[in-house]
């Protein structure tokens, strides 16, 4: 049974609650004031006039934005799946009892965490052809996303597993379970719940990092926004296009967070996996 909340930290008193209320009200007022100034400046410079937003009605423009959105989602989905898989493998390698494997995985993680993502994309797209290997912009973007975010997620996975109380694994070993079974049935189910917020945060970063594909001409949302915003035939609506693309990114991030919250609630309603595994240690 978990400890009562009051044992873990001091409950704020009346003065502390009053300070928190005042701080929250001041912060909200400042944010609303900044938004008001932004809207006022946009209106004063004519960025909210109907004529500036006529480009939204053109079918070709809508198709271009839709194509950029699809390309963004393709790069995100592929990069996310590969990064999660790579991160899990590297984390298992770093938790291995074999020192050579541990050293190799640690080197890979530290290397790709240290190299900027945009450098990886440039290396794959512009550097590999000099070695006789040609890759598309999509492959260059996905490889960069996989290696960089996979290295970061490896540390998230490793920290989550190490955060599980040692007594859990010791009890499983005492029941005769092997290390693979302990990891799969005891440690990971508990670690995932604590790791989920960090995993979602990194996936949000990965989603936004797809915009770096613009630098190697991958036709994602930012690439389409730059093309449309600088199009003189449309009146160069740079700010309106940027606002539309920003809203799309915000919506995607909110949907990703909502999915993570749903998965977290679902995992809390299904805690029976560990019990089943302990009852059948010979299957591990």
Token look-up 């989602």 returns 73
Q: Is residue 31 part of a domain?
A: no
Distances (CA, A) of 141 to 85, 146, 204: 17, 9, 16
Instruction: Report the chain's terminal Cα–Cα distance, integer Å.
Output: 27
- Classified as helix, coil or strand, 135 is coil
CATH of the domain at 167: 1.10.3720.10
Work out the angle between the directed axes of helices 238-268 and 221-229 (0-180°, nearest 10): 160
Q: Is residue 116 part of a domain?
A: yes
Q: Is residue 212 part of a domain?
A: yes
Q: Is residue 25 part of a domain?
A: no
Q: Is residue 13 part of a domain?
A: no
Q: Is residue 45 part of a domain?
A: no
- Residue 230, pLDDT score: 86
> Residue 76 belongs to what domain range?
65-283
- Residue 126, pLDDT score: 93
Q: Is residue 70 part of a domain?
A: yes
Residue 97 is given by DSSP the state: S
Q: Is residue 115 part of a domain?
A: yes
Overall domain count for the chain: 1
Instruction: Flag residues of the chain having pLDDT under 50.
Output: 1-8, 272-284
Q: Whole-angstrom Cα distance, residue 40 to residue 87?
A: 46
- Residue 9, pLDDT score: 54
Residues 6+ apart with CB under 8 A from 28: none
In contact, 231 and 64? CB cutoff 8 Å? no
Token look-up 């989550």 returns 160
């Amino acid at each position: 049974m978990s400890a009562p909340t009051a044992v873990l930290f001091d409950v704020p008193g009346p003065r502390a609650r009053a300070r928190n209320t005042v701080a929250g009200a001041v912060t909200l007022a400042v944010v609303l004031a900044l938004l008001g100034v932004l809207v006022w400046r946009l209106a004063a410079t004519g960025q909210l006039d109907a004529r500036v937003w006529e480009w939204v009605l053109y079918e070709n423009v809508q198709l271009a934005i839709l194509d950029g959105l699809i390309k963004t989602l393709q790069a995100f989905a592929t990069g996310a799946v590969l990064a999660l898989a790579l991160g899990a493998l590297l984390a298992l390698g770093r938790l291995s009892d074999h020192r050579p494997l541990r050293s190799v995985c640690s080197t890979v993680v530290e290397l790709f965490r240290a190299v900027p993502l945009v450098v990886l994309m440039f290396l794959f797209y512009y550097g590999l052809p000099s070695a006789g290997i040609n890759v598309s912009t999509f492959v260059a973007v996905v490889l960069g996303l996989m290696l960089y975010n996979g290295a970061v997620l490896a540390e998230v996975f490793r920290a989550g597993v190490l955060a599980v109380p040692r007594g859990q694994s010791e009890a499983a070993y005492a029941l005769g379970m092997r290390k693979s079974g302990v990891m799969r049935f005891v440690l990971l189910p508990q670690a995932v719940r604590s790791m989920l917020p960090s995993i979602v945060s990194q996936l949000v970063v990965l989603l936004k990092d797809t915009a770096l594909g613009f630098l190697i001409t991958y036709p994602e949302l930012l690439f389409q926004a730059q093309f449309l915003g600088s199009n003189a035939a449309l009146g160069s609506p740079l700010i309106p296009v940027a606002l539309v693309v920003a809203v799309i990114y915000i919506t995607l991030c909110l949907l990703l967070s909502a999915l993570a919250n749903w998965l977290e609630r679902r995992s809390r309603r299904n805690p029976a996996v560990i019990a089943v595994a302990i009852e059948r240690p010979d299957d591990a």
